[in-house]
Structures are given as structure tokens and as C-alpha cells.
Amino acid sequence: MSFKKHLIISTLIRVFLIYYGEVQDSLSDVQYTDVDYRVVTDGANHVLALGSPFKRHTYRYTPLLAYLVLPNLLVHPSFGKFIFSLFDILIGVLIKWILLNCYRSNKISIETKLLKLETLNNRNKYLIKRKNEILNSNNEALPPKYIRMAEISAYCWLYNPLTMIIATRGNGDCVSCSLVLLSIYFLLKNEQTFVQYFVAGLFLGLSIHFRLYPIGFCLAFYLATQNRTLEKWHDIVRSILKPNPKQIALVLGTVVALGSTSALFYWLYGYQFIYESMLYHLVRKDTRHNFSLYFYLQYLSSTFDVTVLEKVLTFLPQLILILMLTVRYGQHRQTLSFGLFAIAFVMVTYNPVVTSQYFVWFLSLLPLCVKNFRNIGIRKAVFIPVMWFISQGGWLLPAYLLEFKGWNTFEFIWIQSIVFFFSNVLILQMLISNYDIAYNYKID
């Protein structure tokens, strides 16, 4: 079956889930539609009345999201779900494009090195011409098995039930995920021009505007645009302080996109935009819908203000891990995708607030690394997702009893949050230990 047919099938599944959600919402107390979808729609209603979306209590997103779902009020209440589902499908397409581009890049790199050695000893005109063709071509033919591998990786996203449900419930995180993948696509393209890196920066800046988490990717993006490996810390600092033209283009694009959108909405909505869409997420507490290890701490201290020391101790572990993963995997184009996945996984696992939609941050990057886990073994390949879903299920039961039955299950939720945290730590350790970069270079 062709990739286009798979796209059609996965689209139809999402359409079915949207209509199923309409039925469940009308018949069940447990609503299929995400409460945030209703919040964003209410914000769009204020925008339609030429007001601020932040007039809607708990609206804490970019105003662009409210603009995006304006058809909810003009066409159909579920129109925004179709928009988010299209972005969800786009992620699958981008996964295939990125992997094909990586395979081509590696193939070109290997062939170029081989031809360079041959042309040093043989000044054959054909070899010289062939070398120039390789250097100037982006459409080098790939073995069918690598095209197939790129498509299988995309199917890991397109047919993932968790990501399908999250998008069709009306969650907009797929928008920021698609922007992150677009930035990766342009960053890893073979041309390596100033414009290419500038465009990559534009998409990175927009993704940060939609969601703050891609800030954790910035240093990895920056280091991946260098031309050599940095093994010592003073070399890394020197690289940051003395950027090359590609790094300048990347930073310029990021600043232009993030700065212009932030300035525009600050001009329209003032400080409330800065606080609600950005600063609030640094001090946010969630004592009812939170997978986080810090859930019970937040519940017990919900009536107290967050101290600076508490925030530092909360974010310090993930900052240290992000820096270590960036230096280990972010310096090379070949390992950048896995580095970004590991960073996103750490950010979600160690974050003070963790909800189900946050999982798409790293699940959208995981398919880019599937090819590097061929030696993981069938037992581990089954054990990892089973453990992850079971640890979630153990949390969801007491959370359901608290939310819908009114039972006092806070301590049980806390225990399950601890189990979920250590499950994630174990999963990341297993993935890192079984990550094999050699498969990036095995081109026939």
C-alpha cells in the first residue's frame, strides 16, 4: 500500500474520532473534547468581538491559537479539531521527509569521501564530474528499504492511538510539534545555505512562541550547525561566543520570528499577554491533572506562594540533564534528532506540571530515531511501551476517582506519580543504552 493511501486512511480515522467525540460528549459525563479546546474557543469568541482572548479566564496560550480556531464560531464548533488533525497528519509527512533527507545526506557524504580518495589518485574526468553531481544533488536515489524505513517511521506516528486521540480531542500541541519538525527539516537539508538556516530559525522561533518547551532545543540547534566536534567545555563556550555564518542565520531567524510575534501581541494585549502565555507557565501549579513527581508537593503547598529557591530546585535537575544531552548528542547532525527526543523526554519527565498532551512533545520526535534501535530486541521493544502505558493507567484510575467520584485519592495519585517518574527514567536509560548511531551510515 502506498504512503498516500496510508495518509488517507489515517485521516479518515481521525475524522471518525472527531465525530465519535461529538456523540460521547452528548451522552457521557466523561467528555471526549479537551477542556482546553473550549477555553481556546471562548478566547476566539472574544477575538471575534474585537477583544482580548485573555478575557477568558484560564486562557494561557498564544493569541494565534484563538485566531486559528475562529472557524469554530463561523463554520462549525469542531472545525478546530479538523485543523489540529491536519497538523497531526503533517507531522507524519515531515517525519518521512526528514528521514529521507538524512539518508540522502549520509549517502552523499559517504560517496563524496570515497570519490575524493579516488580522484586524488586518478584525475579521471568522469570521477570529477560524478563528484560535482553528488555535491550539487538533493535527489540521490536511495535503496527501496530506506524509503520503506522512512515510511514505517512515519506510520509510528500516523497510527499512534494516543496522538490521534489527543489531536481529535482538540489539543493544539500538534501545531508546535509540526513547527519543531519543520525547523529540523530545514536545518538538516543538504544545501546548507544562509537562507536555509534562517528559515529553520523562523520555524524554531514560531514554535517557541506557541509553546515554551522548544527553548530547550536552542543550544542543540546552535551546536549542530558547526563544522567540527567540540570535546572541551572552553571550545563549546568559544563556539557560542564566536558564531559562524550558519549560526548567525539560525539565531537571526529565531529572534525575528519570536521577537516580531511577541512584540505584535504585546502591542495588542499588553503585559497580560506576556504573563498569561509565558511567565505563568514558570510558576504554574496543577493539583488535579498532573502526572508530575512534584504533584503532591504542589497539592500540600497550594495555598503558599512559590519561592525562588523552590523553582530553582525544581528546574535544576532537568537543566543539568538537558545540558549534558545537548553536549553529547546535539553537536552532530546525525545524532541531533535523538538528542532532541531525549531533551524533550527529560523536560516532560522532570517538569513540575505533566499532562497527557505533553507526551506529543517527544512522541513526535521518537519516529526519527526508530532506525537506530534495531538492536534493542523484541523483549525490550514490547516491555518499554507496555510499562509506559501500565504506569499511566495506574495513575489514571485514582485520578478518575478523584475527579468524577470525589474520593480522596491524593496519596494514591502521588504514589503512582512516583512510579510513572521512575518508569520514564528507566525507559530513557534503556533507549540511550540501545541507541546505535552506526545505522545512520549503513547506506547500500
- Specify the DSSP element, H or E, that contains 210: helix 194-210
Q: What pLDDT does 46 receive?
A: 92
Q: Rounded to two decimals, what is the model's pTM? A: 0.89
Task: Give me the pLDDT at residue 139, please.
Answer: 46
Residue 278 DSSP one-character state: I
What ranges in 330-409 are assigned the alpha helix state H? Answer: 336-350, 359-363, 378-405
pLDDT at position 69: 93
* Residue 9: per-residue pLDDT: 95
Amino acid at 122: N
DSSP code for 305 = P
Residues 96 and 86: beta-carbon distance below 8 Å = no
CA separation for the pair 179, 205 (Å, rounded): 9
Q: How far is CA 153 from CA 157, 368, 380, 401, in A?
A: 7, 7, 18, 37
Local mean pLDDT, 10-residue blocks, the chain (444 residues)? 91 95 86 91 92 90 94 92 95 94 67 49 50 50 80 93 93 94 92 88 95 93 80 71 88 95 93 89 73 83 73 86 91 89 95 88 93 83 90 86 80 89 94 78 45
Which residues have a Cβ under 8 Å from the Cβ of 228 and sit 6 or more positions away? none
Q: Of 304, 296, 369, whose CA–CA distance to 98 is shortest?
A: 369
Cell numbers 500540600 correspond to 300
Specify the pLDDT at position 30: 79
How far is the C-alpha of 134 from the C-alpha of 140, rounded, in Å?
8
Please, where are the H alpha helices in 270-307? 271-274, 280-283, 295-300
- Grid cell of 296 as nine digits: 503532591
CA 160 to CA 370: how far, in whole Å? 14
Helix axis angle, 161-168 to 3-27, nearest 10°:
60
